[in-house]
Amino acid sequence: MSQTQKLPVVYVRGFAGGQSGIDSAVMDPFLGFNAGSTHIRIGPDNKPSFYQFESPLLRLMVDEGYQLLVHGGQETYLNAHAEIPADSLWIHRFYDPSASTWGGTPKEFRIEDAAQDLLELIEELRAKAHVDRVHLVAHSMGGLICRCLIQKLLPERGIEPASYVAKLFTYGTPHGGIAFDIGFGVLERLRDAIGVNGAEIFGRERMYQYLTPGATAADEPPDNWDPRAMPADGEPFAFPHRQVFCLVGTDPSDYDVAHGLSSAAVGPRSDGLVQIDNAYVPGAFRAYVHRSHSGRYGLVNSEEGYQNLRRFLFGDLKVESTLVHIRLPEEKNTVWQAEVGLSIRGLQIVMHERTSAQWCPIQLGSDTRPGANGDGAVPLVSTFLCENLASPNGSGTLRYALHLRILSLRERDNGFLDFRDHIEQTADFDDILVVDVSNEAGVPALRATWNSTIVGPISDYEPTGPDLVDEDPASGRWVSHIPLPESTRTILGEDARIRLTATEWN
């Protein structure tokens, strides 16, 4: 497995709102990325459990040896040094020119200007750290600033975005804009027309202007334009989708507490501000975590967010899990859903979870019916593993658990759910695939077992027998299929499998 090259990491914060919000933001030397948390919702004996998460800024310094080079000011430090270390952390302080705290007339904030300033910062970091690229880590609107740079500014200059940016990680970015569940579009049109505190930047028209090369303030998007979409791989100046990771929040409640806002306007399928379906780029990696947009249980100041960030940036093995060859029964008015959870040994959090209770199950569509075209493939989750984070028990093995549940819902002819044969929160299939990954002479070796076959606690389980067979002779790609338990055959079909695909990352 490869050794990851350290590159400068640039943090880009989110939307501050009006002038008072901007003034408050610039008073923080690290624009919120230094904020940690102490709350966790679970504890023994029903007692509150306080868990100290230090912040994503400090944790990268502790875990990955990064340096924070401020010393009175980033700009001052950069001006005084001809060379800087590659493993360094930087804050894009794009709001500083728009603050009124210094006196004088503040500059009007524009995303294009923030993206231009980001480009100038990256060019200086590239030159002084002697690297070609940087990592971008962004919260909320910060991800749109990064996309403006990647999709508009660099292509307009004839620069391949991947030659400047290695990876883009976004926390709760409204890639599809900010929409509301109420008002039938009236609230969005009113916001975009009057531009309250500059919030029109989250509307389709304004997004089209700062995400499209050559677009001007007079241009309007085509009817079929999707603001979430980045140019497809292979198109000129396209940034590879597999170098983008989107962290999606699924808990709207805490955002209400922290900000006095009502998630009723955005809807329950959200992090309190950004709807789940608007929080990712199609084709990019993504993880769903039960966290709010910000606040005590916010995405940025969470262990869940940090662990996904660290593994995406510095992991050395990617394992993709896909449910394949499923053939669901043909039952009239029956809807099928899958719920997925991912946990990694040694972590006290769930890395990824999509559940009905959190408004984000995987909908199993018509392509999984008998006789449908294709192999009924349903992507479940992509896992990034770090070899240097192998189990502290001395086995040198990485272990993670993939929790899979299949549920059926029946509808009446009038569209309402039919509960006559329904048992709430009881799945038709519920099991956990325990996967052990090791490194043998530079080649991944995997073993997988269903929890239903393990005798005793999972913590005591030691895999036996041969490794899974690599079914793909191509170098650099390892593939194996694990049959589902026999009890699932009447539900998912005789040939249903979990396909594990392992490839070197970084």
Residue 131: partners with Cβ closer than 8 Å, 6 or more residues away: 7, 8, 86, 125
Residue 4 confidence class, pLDDT cut points 50, 70, 90: low
Q: How far apart are CA 433 and CA 496, in angstroms?
A: 14
Percent of the chain with pLDDT over 70: 91
Determine the pLDDT at residue 279.
Answer: 98
Section 236-243 average pLDDT:
97
Return phi, psi of residue 15, to 5°: -70, 130
With 0-12 / 13-18 / 19 or more C-beta atoms within 10 angstroms meaning exposed / middle / buried, residue 222 is exposed
Q: What is the pLDDT of residues 475-497, one digit of tens each?
A: 788 999 999 998 888 888 899 99
Q: pLDDT-based confidence at 319, cuts 50/70/90?
A: very high
Question: What is the pLDDT, as a whole number, of residue 389?
Answer: 67
Which one, of 299, 287, 248, 293, lies nearest residue 272 by Cα?
A: 293
CA–CA distance, 84 with 493 (Å, rounded to integer): 58
pLDDT tens profile 426-452: 889 999 999 999 887 778 889 999 999
Residue 305 has a pLDDT of: 97
At 122, which amino acid appears? I
What residue ranges do the domains of the chain occupy? 9-314, 320-504
Gap between the Cα atoms of 341 and 354, Å rounded: 6
Task: Assess whether pLDDT exceeds 50 at residue 342.
Answer: yes
One-letter amino acid at 69 equals L
Which residue, chain included where needed, has tokens 């998007």? Answer: 221
| pLDDT beyond 50 at 2 | no
pTM, entire model? 0.93
For residues 329 and 394, the model is more confident at 329
pLDDT for the residue 131: 97
Residue identified by tokens 């999606």 is: 248
pLDDT at 104: 79
Q: Give the C-alpha separation, 211 to 152, whole Å.
A: 5
- 40 or 244, which is more confident: 244
Q: Which of 63-72, 81-90, 248-257, 275-284 has the lowest mean pLDDT?
A: 248-257
CATH of domain 9-314: 3.40.50.1820
Q: What is the pLDDT of residue 437?
A: 93
What confidence tens digit (pLDDT) does each residue in 249-267 have? 999 887 755 554 556 678 8
Neighbours of 157 (CB within 10 A): 10
Residue 423 has pLDDT above 70, yes or no: yes
In the chain, what percentage of residues exceed pLDDT 90?
68
Q: What is the average per-residue pLDDT within 346-360?
A: 94
Q: What is the C-alpha to C-alpha distance for residues 418 and 411, in angstroms, rounded to an integer?
A: 5
Q: Does residue 184 surpass a pLDDT of 70?
A: no
- What does the pLDDT average to over 144-153? 98
Q: Does pLDDT of 383 surpass 70?
A: yes
pLDDT number for residue 340: 98
Residue 138 has pLDDT above 80, yes or no: yes
Q: Please give the structure tokens belonging to residue 61.
A: 């310094």
* 117 vs 176: CA distance, rounded Å: 24
Largest Cα–Cα separation, the chain: 74
pLDDT tens, residue by residue, 73-112? 999 999 999 999 999 999 999 999 999 987 878 999 999 9
Q: What is the Cα–Cα distance from 286 to 248, expressed in whole angstroms?
A: 7
Helix (H) or strand (E) holding 385: strand 378-385
pLDDT tens for 29-50 read: 999 999 998 866 555 677 777 7
Q: Output the pLDDT for position 183.
A: 64
> Can you tell me whether residue 147 is helix, strand or coil?
helix
Of 423, 205, 167, the closest CA to residue 309 belongs to 167
Q: How large is the angle between the packed helices 111-129 and 204-211, nearest 10 degrees?
A: 30
* pLDDT of amino acid 370: 44
Token readout for 223 is 């009817």
432 — phi, psi (to 5°)?
A: -125, 125
- Whether 388 has a pLDDT exceeding 90, the answer reads no
